[in-house]
A and B are shown apart, each in its own frame.
Chain A
Amino acid sequence: MVTLKIDGRKVTVRKLSTILDAARKLDIPIPTLCHHPELSPYGGCRLCLVEIEGIAKPAASCTTFAKEGMIVNTSSPYLEKLRRTNLELILSDHPNECMLCERSGDCKLQELAYFYGLRENRFKGEIRVYSKKDNNPFVTRDMEKCILCGQCVRICDEIQGVGAIDFAYRGLNTRVSPPFEKDLNCEFCGQCVAVCPTGALTGKMWAHKGRQNFKEVETICPYCGCGCNITLYVRRNEIIRISSNEETINEGWLCAKGRFGYGFVNSPERLTKPLIRIAPKENSIFNVKQTNPPLPPFTKVGRGGINNAALFKEVTWEEAFQYVSKRLKEIKENYGPDAIGGLASARCTNEENYLFQKFMRVVIGTNNVDHCARY
């Protein structure tokens, strides 16, 4: 443990903590744009500068270890001037189009510009112009808004282990890019979107769906048994976007399904009532011929969705259960229990899955039971 003094207040932190860690422990605000507690130290934005007694130059608090007896000062007219100038420089190479930006109101850069009251800019000059390559279904990359904090690059490499993007070029031309400046082609976990402090990376399905007045609903991701925590941003009973809180079991990380796969919730194709098939399978929408190239996800196929009265009949739960138990019994009698197999779902809880295999083994009498996580 080391003890140091920040802004006159004593604080004790573990060895190898940074000055920023120590200041956060005291809840002292230090502006940062490139720091992320789960990622390797970076030191790119140069906003988190502090003064350390005995050291002539200001130091980046995110990349300086706290040392025993250190005396640190986190704010002074000089430090604020340095921070302000760095912000001013960032904004001199920024489209400044908050009016239309998806992240407005939720943008770290905008917030800092607001706090520092930056309207005029002494450094107007050339700004980057990039052509967009966004044919992928999930991530909009508006790289002119990128401040090169490198969080997306680090998260992709260090947390996701994919390495789909990295820096390219030098000088003002430096940019974050997939290989050979192609469109993004990765797992689409959207981890990069989650950490991006600006509007450079956003969810494609967020566009023009609204930026404020959400109802935030804490819930659990419905997809797999991991049970990641998610926060739904809901408006008029519609999910506008999903994020995940860092202080949860999954530390804020999600996968592509959890983050972007919420389209089913309000989908007209979603099953909301039990259905019994009345027409043979051959006419099912799943038999629609595969197109070449394959259709992108979420394209509606078939004749207006599953609730097609010609194929299915809506029934009550009671009727549905009756039907299922009748058919299972018939099959078991005529063909034996091994003619039946059960596939459970990873979306169910462990308890539900346990009961399901019990049902298959004891009630039906077969070991034909499986699901993606295996029994």
Chain B
Amino acid sequence: MSGDNIKIKICMGPGGIAAGGNDVIEAFKGQLTNQRINASFGEQCSLHQVGCRGLCAKDVLVEIIIDGKETIYENINPEKVPRIVKEHILGDNPVKEWIAGEDYDNFKKKQIKVVLSHCGEIDPEDMNAYIEAGGYKAAHKALTSMSPSEIVETVKTSNLRGRGGAGFPTGLKWELGLRIKSDVKYVICNGDEGDPGAFMDRSVMEGDPHSVIEGMIICAKATESHKGYIYVRAEYPLAVKRLQQAIDQCLQKGYLGKNIFDTGFDFDIRIFQGAGAFVCGEATALMRSIEGKRGMPTPKLWRSAEKGLWEKPTVLNNVETFANIPKIILNGGDWFRNLGTERSGGTKVFSLTGNIKNSGLIEVPLGISLREIIYDIGGGIEGGRSLKAVQTGGPSGGCIPAALLDIEVDYESLAKVGSIMGSGGMVVLDETNCMVNTAKFFLEFTQAESCGKCTPCRIGTKRMLEILERITNGNGKEGDIELLEDLGSHIRATSLCGLGMTAPNPVLSTIRYFRDEYEAHIKDRKCPALVCRNLITYSIIEEECTGCGACKRACPVDSIRGVRKKPHKIDPELCVKCGTCFDVCKFKAILKA
């Protein structure tokens, strides 16, 4: 064993846990004990579980720091642990072939970590680690030396816009929250995160819970509120646990509760667990849910800052929005503002998924181009295929075609091309994706999640889905595209809440950029990407067929005929388009078209 200061950080973000992070931790513990390093455990050699490091595609990521020298390993599993301990920790000779390569460097290069600066670096369950990393300095500063309006001014200067989707300027929201006087006011943190595939907020709540709480304390001071709620979906048990732990630690230390930092300021936070309806992420539905009512949006006769939770003035922000606050208070509004574009300051976290090499959690300055995200950070498309579109904004967002890859990523530019920033989902689609099917996938989600309150969303989205279903099933009718456009813009214009207003986006944006694909489905009864089952035909290319009979034996419905060593034939009447023959043929003699 070389130095006396060894740190092992194991990624235990959502990706890390899914890839077996717990087993890796256990393996390290076992190895360290076996190798009798336990004597120095904790003092000289410490093991840390850390939040998401971003590059989930290469999880489990393990960082080993010896005397300040950092080495990152990727794709680590328990079997690899003994060798790392033996060669690297005991022998001071890092295992070269497992060290994170170029991809990891590229992945990190264009990112700027503000919200995620602690994620993957500190142990989220250790309050001291947060404090050592500069935590609660901002809250201390805000409570001891800033007036509410000074805080509001700083946030206004920062140009921070709500990260929950709509992008409302946070400073303005707080200003209104401060201006309205009331004996009771609430601060709510929206951690519902219902978009399928999104895990930005989850990573922050699990990986750096104290930053969210610190942001809320500052907001409470700025808006003169003394009660806070964090709304987290019950499907995020680890986030709930870590947040509660953090709240308890704060209460013990006097950072929450009565007389915080001896300033006479009181603030309490409670966690409310949601039952997992997407619509409960909508601000008014969320408040109704806390009130014990059905999570249904209510009309905005009043702004939440006037009448929100239990009809009291309420400031509601997203997890990521709050997590930005401490850094803004410490480094100043201008610093944050200058990170982003003219109209939106700072950085944004995205979950980069789909057909991309480096899938994971990224944080980039607003205004970066989509191209940089996909090719520089994301490492491009998997398997050398070509990019078709990028879907941003989750189920409420739209598809941006490859041709528009140079647009800047900010609220306005995304809206201009028919998509939205949303909460930060980014799904990369390559040529193997059918755009009609993709739109259908998102609409399946939104129509099922409609709260059912208003006509256009409850019935309209269902009808759109039915039209998409018939198109992908090969029963599309002349006029269906126009009907989708008409109904889509109708739902957008007349729905009560954001769910309905944005639900048609995936359909409308794919029609806008990929109309030919819709037409191919309807007019030619073909799915150009060969995804929609009913529109695919399998046939045997006579010249290539050796007559081996593999396909005939594999076909589950006996639809393939032929004698040995002679070209075989598929009976299209019987074929159920399962694709088994295509997979088993060794001579590429089956044509999928």
Q: Binary interface profile of A, 166-209, with partner B (CB < 8 Å = 1, else 0)?
A: 11011111100000000000000000000000000000000000
A89 touches which one: B449, B460, B493 (CB < 8 A)? Answer: B460
CA distance A289 to B463 in the complex (A): 58
Q: Is B459 in contact with A57, judged by CB distance below 8 angstroms?
A: no
Stretch at the interface among B216-224, B293-301, B583-591: B293-301
Q: Does A123 contact B (CB under 8 A)?
A: yes
Q: Does A70 contact B (CB under 8 A)?
A: no
Q: Is B448 in contact with A90, judged by CB distance below 8 angstroms?
A: no
Within 8 A of A (CB), among B276-331: 277, 279, 294, 296, 298-301
Q: Is A174 in contact with B294, judged by CB distance below 8 angstroms?
A: no
B459 CB contacts on chain A under 8 angstroms: 89-90, 92-93, 123, 172
Q: Is A171 in contact with B458, judged by CB distance below 8 angstroms?
A: yes
Chain A contact-residue range equals 35 or more
Q: Is A63 in contact with B493, judged by CB distance below 8 angstroms?
A: no
Q: Is A65 in contact with B301, judged by CB distance below 8 angstroms?
A: yes
B460 CB contacts on chain A under 8 angstroms: 89, 123
A126 CB contacts on chain B under 8 angstroms: 462, 466
A86 CB contacts on chain B under 8 angstroms: 455-456, 490, 494
Within 8 A of B (CB), among A332-348: none
Q: Does B368 contact A (CB under 8 A)?
A: no
Q: Is B463 in contact with A170, judged by CB distance below 8 angstroms?
A: no
Q: Is A167 in contact with B496, judged by CB distance below 8 angstroms?
A: no
CA distance A65 to B307 in the complex (A): 14
B449 touches which one: A45, A90, A170 (CB < 8 A)? Answer: A170
A49 CB contacts on chain B under 8 angstroms: 494
Tell me the smallest distance from the CB of A178 to a CB of chain B, in Å.
14
Q: Does A31 contact B (CB under 8 A)?
A: no
Q: Is B493 in contact with A170, judged by CB distance below 8 angstroms?
A: no
Q: Does A41 contact B (CB under 8 A)?
A: yes
B463 touches which one: A42, A65, A92 (CB < 8 A)? Answer: A92
CA distance A150 to B447 in the complex (A): 19
Q: Binary interface profile of A, 40-60, with partner B (CB < 8 Å = 1, else 0)?
A: 011111110100000001101
Q: Does A112 contact B (CB under 8 A)?
A: no
Known: A167-B294, A167-B296, A172-B447. A46 touches B455 (CB 8 A): yes
Q: Binary interface profile of A, 48-85, with partner B (CB < 8 Å = 1, else 0)?
A: 01000000011010011100000000000000001001
Q: Does A280 contact B (CB under 8 A)?
A: no
Chain B contact-residue range equals 20 to 34
A46 CB contacts on chain B under 8 angstroms: 454-456, 494-496
Tell me the smallest distance from the CB of A139 to a CB of chain B, in Å.
22
Within 8 A of B (CB), among A100-152: 122-123, 125-126, 147-148, 150
Q: Is A174 in contact with B452, judged by CB distance below 8 angstroms?
A: yes
A41 touches which one: B301, B447, B451, B461 (CB < 8 A)? Answer: B301
CA distance A90 to B460 in the complex (A): 9
Q: Is A174 in contact with B494, judged by CB distance below 8 angstroms?
A: no
Q: Is A123 in contact with B487, judged by CB distance below 8 angstroms?
A: yes
Q: Does B561 contact A (CB under 8 A)?
A: no
Q: Does B355 contact A (CB under 8 A)?
A: no
Q: Is B462 in contact with A82, judged by CB distance below 8 angstroms?
A: no
A170 touches which one: B299, B301, B448, B495 (CB < 8 A)? Answer: B448
Look across to chain A and name the residue whose beta carbon is closest to the beta carbon of B294.
Answer: A167
Within 8 A of A (CB), among B390-427: none
A125 touches which one: B296, B298, B449, B466 (CB < 8 A)? Answer: B466
Q: Is B299 in contact with A63, judged by CB distance below 8 angstroms?
A: yes
B458 touches which one: A42, A122, A148 (CB < 8 A)? Answer: A148
Q: Is B456 in contact with A89, judged by CB distance below 8 angstroms?
A: yes
Q: Does B450 contact A (CB under 8 A)?
A: yes
Tell me the smallest distance from the CB of A55 to a CB of chain B, in Å.
12
Q: Is A85 in contact with B496, judged by CB distance below 8 angstroms?
A: no
Q: Binary interface profile of A, 190-230, with partner B (CB < 8 Å = 1, else 0)?
A: 00000000000000000000000000000000000000000
Within 8 A of A (CB), among B5-47: none
Look across to chain A and name the residue whose beta carbon is closest to the beta carbon of B479.
Answer: A122
Q: Is A166 in contact with B466, judged by CB distance below 8 angstroms?
A: no
B486 CB contacts on chain A under 8 angstroms: 85
Known: A85-B487, A125-B462. A170 touches B496 (CB 8 A): no
Q: Is B455 in contact with A45, judged by CB distance below 8 angstroms?
A: yes
CA distance A229 to B89 in the complex (A): 90
Look across to chain B and name the residue whose beta carbon is closest to the beta carbon of A16.
Answer: B301
Look across to chain A and name the residue whose beta carbon is closest to the beta carbon of B495.
Answer: A46
Known: A63-B299, A148-B458, A167-B294. A82 touches B463 (CB 8 A): no
Look across to chain B and name the residue whose beta carbon is closest to the beta carbon of A57.
Answer: B493
A43 CB contacts on chain B under 8 angstroms: 298-299, 453-454, 496
Known: A89-B459, A170-B448. A82 touches B494 (CB 8 A): yes
Greatest chain B CB density within 10 A among A64, A125, A173 is at: A125
CA distance A45 to B301 in the complex (A): 16
A174 CB contacts on chain B under 8 angstroms: 450-453, 458
Known: A43-B299, A64-B301, A148-B458. A171 touches B447 (CB 8 A): yes
Q: Is B456 in contact with A170, judged by CB distance below 8 angstroms?
A: no
Q: Is B449 in contact with A44, judged by CB distance below 8 angstroms?
A: no
Q: Is A170 in contact with B455, judged by CB distance below 8 angstroms?
A: no
Greatest chain A CB density within 10 A among B459, B460, B461 is at: B459
B455 CB contacts on chain A under 8 angstroms: 44-47, 86, 89-90, 147
Q: Is A170 in contact with B494, judged by CB distance below 8 angstroms?
A: no
B466 CB contacts on chain A under 8 angstroms: 125-126
Look across to chain B and name the residue whose beta carbon is closest to the beta carbon of A84.
Answer: B490
Q: Is A172 in contact with B299, judged by CB distance below 8 angstroms?
A: no
Tell me the smallest distance from the CB of A93 to a CB of chain B, in Å.
5
Q: Is B493 in contact with A45, judged by CB distance below 8 angstroms?
A: no
A45 touches which one: B448, B451, B454, B462 (CB < 8 A)? Answer: B454
Q: Does B578 contact A (CB under 8 A)?
A: no
Q: Is B493 in contact with A82, judged by CB distance below 8 angstroms?
A: yes
Tell me the smallest distance from the CB of B331 to a CB of chain A, in Å.
37
Tell me the smallest distance from the CB of A91 to a CB of chain B, in Å.
9
CA distance A173 to B448 in the complex (A): 8
CA distance A82 to B486 in the complex (A): 10
CA distance A169 to B449 in the complex (A): 9
Q: Is A166 in contact with B294, judged by CB distance below 8 angstroms?
A: yes
Tell me the smallest distance from the CB of B225 to a CB of chain A, in Å.
25
- 7 cross-chain pairs, A with B, having the tightest CB-CB distances, nearest first: A174-B452, A63-B299, A43-B299, A89-B459, A123-B463, A125-B466, A172-B462
Of the A-B pairs whose beta carbons lie under 8 Å apart in the complex, a sample of 18, sorted by A's number, is A43-B453, A44-B454, A44-B455, A45-B455, A46-B495, A64-B301, A65-B301, A82-B493, A85-B456, A86-B456, A123-B459, A123-B460, A169-B452, A171-B449, A172-B452, A172-B458, A172-B459, A174-B450
Other contacts beyond A85-B487, A85-B494, A89-B460: 14, CB < 8 A = A41-B299, A46-B495, A47-B455, A58-B494, A64-B301, A86-B456, A89-B459, A89-B463, A90-B459, A123-B460, A167-B294, A173-B452, A174-B450, A174-B452
A interface residue numbers (CB < 8 A to B):
41-47, 49, 57-58, 60, 63-65, 82, 85-86, 89-90, 92-93, 122-123, 125-126, 147-148, 150, 166-167, 169-174
